[in-house]
Amino acid sequence: MTHIRAMTRDDLADVSRLLGASWQRTYAPIMGDETVARLSDEKHAPDKLATELDDEDKMSFVAERADGSIAGYAMAAMDGKGDVMLDRLHIEPQAFGSDLAVDLLHAVLAAHAGIPSIALEVIEGNDRAIAFYRKHGFEVVERREAAHGVGGHASLIMRRMLPRA
């Protein structure tokens, strides 16, 4: 049994490891091992994640197992215009098909109740994620060069309109 809760500083090392493994598994076939290792080390180090926890415009959630271990993570950021971007949603492979990713997505959506929509960026070739987001109401609204230092790769911007409260 897992439950979704707000991420804390006690989770930094576990979330950093989860992100590194998820990026390696997901993006190495697309971008190569060296690029993935470099980008993940830069973006997912515990000190970088700690800075995000201090940012009032970012909300991070973890899926915690009964034994205290972390099985998933999600983070969304609000920009100055009030637009929300689902920046990360990662789960361990053992949780694939368990609805854990859905639970994390729902936590993000609930935390941003009242906003008109939520967007995300997914690298082309990440077919599992694209299918997941389509299944949960996201539609492709733009194709562009990937952000986050992933030069030479295209990404899709997907958006989901949210019901008004």
C-alpha of 115 from chain center = 19
pTM of the shown model:
0.89
By the 8 A CB rule, do 123 and 155 touch?
A: yes
Strand residue runs (E) in 36-116: 58-65, 70-78, 84-91
Name the band, by pLDDT with cuts 50, 70 and 90, for residue 44: very high
Question: Per-residue pLDDT tens for 87-104?
Answer: 999 999 999 989 999 999
Nearest to 92 by CA among 123, 65, 122: 65
Residue 3: per-residue pLDDT? 94
CA distance 124 to 27: 10
pLDDT > 60? residue 79: yes
- pLDDT score of 165 more than 60: no
Q: What angle do CA 137, 29, 121 make, to 5 degrees?
A: 30
Please, are residues 146 and 154 in contact by the beta-carbon 8 Å criterion? yes
